[in-house]
Amino acid sequence: MSSTCKYLIPGLEKGLQLLLLLAQQHRELTFAEILRLVDMPKATAYRAIQTLVHLDFIEQHPRTGAFSLGRKVLSLGLGYIASLDLTQLGQPIIEQLRDRSQCNSHLVIRDGRDIIYIARVSGAESKINHVTVGTRLLAHRTSLGRMLLSGLSRAEFDELYPDDELPDDAGSKQVFWNMIQADRLRGYVIGESFYRRGISSIVYPVYNRDSGVEAVISIMMPMDSIPAQERQRLQNEVRSAAQKLTEFIGGMTSMKAI
């Protein structure tokens, strides 16, 4: 939001700033930590937080006193997700994929350095502790994130990850970039225990009209490696689902220049 807007409401701006901060940190924050991370007077921050707590947009832990996003924010996020044409178009596609593969199926988008699950269905016999719609994970920690990042140019990637090392000691940015480029040229990712041991996934991209990666469709199964006799069939099912959604949104499958 531009600071030159003559209709700016300072209190609303501060409240939204605090909500964005909590969303970006992926953890509870104490009041002292919030003050270190925002540029606002202590009294202003305190009043804004207490207002948001009162309205259920922020929750305060009864024992630690730390703050996290509240139920009202989740309802807003789910409302946004439900409004996306991508979700409406993708839901029946991943349901069909689940039926054909007998695996948990997902539709996922990227928001900055996070991935967000916008649709999901569980296989009938699945014993995997499943993510829910609205779940955010770090893109560089998941095979789905790798495929979503494959649509970026090097300049866009460097802007997203400006340091030589990835966040939370996840390794070299250059090594990760090389991995993404191999994924991009291959056109899919098979992530065997990439994020969690004992869990494998097959991921294909959904392309938009600019040939960028708009989303990914994936299946997940509880095994360290996908049986060789099933691998090609499952790949074909996920690829077909991703191609169908690409066609529905008018996407182009040619690769974006890097």
Please report the pLDDT score of residue 98 as a whole number. 92
pLDDT tens, residue by residue, 87-123: 888 999 999 999 999 889 999 999 899 999 999 988 7
Of 222, 219, 230, 234, nearest to 198 by C-alpha is 222
- The number of distinct structural domains making up the chain is 2
- Please state, for a pLDDT cut of 90, what percent of the chain lies above it: 38
31 with 98, same domain?
no
Tell me the one-letter amino acid at 53.
Answer: V
Sign of CA dihedral 9, 13, 14, 19: positive
Query: Domain for residue 4, yes or no?
Result: no
User: What is the Cα–Cα distance from 164 to 182, expressed in whole angstroms?
Assistant: 19
Range of the domain at 28: 10-70
Report the predicted TM-score, pTM, of the whole model to 2 decimal places.
0.67
The two structure tokens encoding residue 61 = 């832990």
Classify the phi-psi angles of 156: left when phi > 0, otherwise alpha if psi is within -120 to 50, otherwise beta. alpha
121 with 189, same domain?
yes
pLDDT tens, residue by residue, 123-168: 766 656 567 888 888 899 889 999 999 999 999 999 999 998 888 7
Tokens 């250059």 correspond to: 174
User: How many CA within 13 A on the CB side of residue 219?
Assistant: 29
User: What is the Cα–Cα distance from 55 to 49, expressed in whole angstroms?
Assistant: 10
Please report the pLDDT score of residue 82 as a whole number. 57
Higher pLDDT, 236 or 71: 236
45 with 89, same domain?
no
- Summary mean pLDDT of the chain: 84
The three-state DSSP-derived secondary structure of 70-83 is CHHHHHHHHHHHHH
Please report the pLDDT score of residue 256 as a whole number. 44
CB atoms closer than 10 angstroms to residue 163: 8
144 with 221, same domain?
yes
56 with 134, same domain?
no
CB atoms closer than 10 angstroms to residue 32: 10
Helix axes 10-25, 42-54, angle to 10 degrees: 80
User: What angle (nearest 5°) sits at the alpha carbon of residue 236, between those of residues 247 and 88?
Assistant: 40
40 with 167, same domain?
no
Of 126, 129, 122, nearest to 94 by C-alpha is 122
User: How many CA within 13 A on the CB side of residue 120?
Assistant: 19
Query: Domain for residue 111, yes or no?
Result: yes
107 with 15, same domain?
no
Q: Does the structure show a pLDDT above 60 at 73?
A: yes
User: What is the Cα–Cα distance from 193 to 201, expressed in whole angstroms?
Assistant: 8
Q: Does the structure show a pLDDT above 90 at 218?
A: yes
Query: Domain for residue 49, yes or no?
Result: yes
Contact 159, 218 (CB under 8 A): no
Greatest CA separation for the chain: 65
User: What is the Cα–Cα distance from 176 to 167, expressed in whole angstroms?
Assistant: 12
Of the listed ranges 29-43, 66-80, 94-108, 182-196, the one predicted with least confidence: 66-80
Helix (H) or strand (E) holding 217: strand 213-221
pLDDT tens, residue by residue, 178-217: 999 999 999 999 886 565 667 888 999 999 888 889 999 9
Phi, psi of 164 (to 5 degrees): -70, -25
